[in-house]
């Protein structure tokens, strides 16, 4: 299975511009499964509730989910990416997952980072698992990484590949993801953004360094801290099914 990610620097509040950039970055894509960053269509550094509400969309049905479905059909790929979701009066920091046959499902970020708590509700969908081409996948969003239970929940439910959309501001996950992969024996696709965002008194600097880690904790491919990148690697998802450390120890049964 060819899995990959897009790394780029979304332009704050410029949805159409960001969709065009993703469309252009993926114009020659040859892959089965692609992950985009957290909030890839809107950027991250919001300064007011109104600002976030104005760029939030329904999942499914909204502009960006429809755009992703178009990309999935055109290139015959599965793709996930971060969207600010509106559901009634509530906003969620979500990821939509779609494929060549349309909408598949969504995940709502459980562990909100810093001032995200001013705008978004905590995710209330748990950690859903989806099956594509006989392979089980699950989504996480950025700061979820620091709570090991999040990825563990996905792994205990059979996830072989973790689709991890990020806007990382701390420098740790490029290292810590190797442990998460190893302790759960899963593949992790980290699609991170790069660049700086300034919005009034709010500012953030994102760490790039997107990467794919295998179930042995080995970084298979990675990107620099800055720069647009689309990277794909061919993996065998079955390698995530063997949870034996040796003939006496099993990562899922010994707990």
Task: Name the residues that contact ligand ACM, by CB under 6 A.
Answer: 38, 113, 142-143, 167-169
Q: Which is nearer to ligand ACM, 46 or 67 (CB)?
A: 46
Task: Identify whether 16 is a catalytic site residue.
Answer: no
Could you tell me if 33 and 159 are in contact, meaning their C-beta atoms sit under 8 angstroms apart?
no
Q: Which is nearer to ligand ACM, 93 or 184 (CB)?
A: 93
Q: Which is nearer to ligand ACM, 91 or 251 (CB)?
A: 91
Task: Identify whether 38 is a catalytic site residue.
Answer: yes
Task: Identify whether 109 is a catalytic site residue.
Answer: yes
Cα dist from 242 to 3, 7, 37, 233, whole Å: 20, 30, 29, 20
Q: How far is the CB of 162 from ligand ACM (least distance, A)?
A: 15
Q: Which residues contact 208 (CB under 8 A, 6 or more apart)?
A: 7, 192, 193, 194, 223, 224, 225, 226, 227
Q: For 39-193, list the strands marked E by DSSP.
A: 78-87, 90-99, 102-108, 129-132, 135-141, 161-165, 187-191
Closest CA to 96 of 19, 184, 152: 19
Q: How far is the CB of 167 from ligand ACM (least distance, A)?
A: 4
Q: Which is nearer to ligand ACM, 34 or 39 (CB)?
A: 39
Q: Which residues contact 74 (CB under 8 A, 6 or more apart)?
A: none
Q: Of 38, 57, 85, 197, which one is the catalytic site residue?
A: 38
Q: How far is the CB of 41 from ligand ACM (least distance, A)?
A: 15
Q: Which residues contact 134 (CB under 8 A, 6 or more apart)?
A: none
Q: Of 57, 85, 142, 231, which one is the catalytic site residue?
A: 142
Q: How far is the CB of 137 from ligand ACM (least distance, A)?
A: 20
Q: Of 109, 116, 136, 197, which one is the catalytic site residue?
A: 109
Q: Which residues are known catalytic residues?
A: 38, 109, 142
């Amino acid at each position: 299975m060819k899995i990959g990610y897009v790394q780029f620097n979304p332009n704050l509040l410029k949805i159409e511009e960001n969709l065009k950039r993703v469309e252009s970055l993926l114009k020659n894509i040859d892959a089965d499964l692609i992950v985009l960053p957290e909030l890839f269509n809107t950027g991250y550094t919001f300064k007011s509730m109104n600002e976030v509400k104005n760029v939030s969309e329904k999942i499914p049905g909204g502009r960006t989910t429809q755009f992703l479905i178009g990309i999935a059909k055109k290139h015959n790929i599965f793709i996930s990416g971060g969207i600010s979701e509106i559901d009634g009066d509530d906003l969620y920091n979500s990821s939509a997952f779609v494929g060549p046959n349309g909408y598949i499902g969504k995940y709502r970020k459980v562990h909100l980072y810093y001032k995200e708590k001013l705008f978004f509700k905590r995710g209330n969908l748990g950690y859903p698992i989806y099956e594509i081409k006989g392979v089980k996948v699950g989504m996480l969003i950025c700061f979820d990484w620091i709570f090991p239970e999040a990825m563990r929940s996905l792994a205990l439910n059979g996830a072989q590949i973790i689709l991890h959309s990020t806007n990382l501001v701390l420098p740790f996950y490029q290292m810590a993801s190797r442990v998460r992969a190893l302790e759960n024996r899963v593949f992790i696709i980290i699609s991170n953004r790069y660049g700086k965002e300034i919005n009034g008194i709010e500012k953030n600097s994102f760490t790039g360094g997107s990467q794919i880690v295998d179930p042995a904790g080995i970084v298979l491919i990675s990107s620099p801290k800055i720069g647009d990148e689309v990277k794909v690697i061919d993996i065998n998802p079955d390698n995530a099914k063997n949870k034996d450390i040796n003939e006496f120890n099993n990562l899922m049964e010994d707990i």
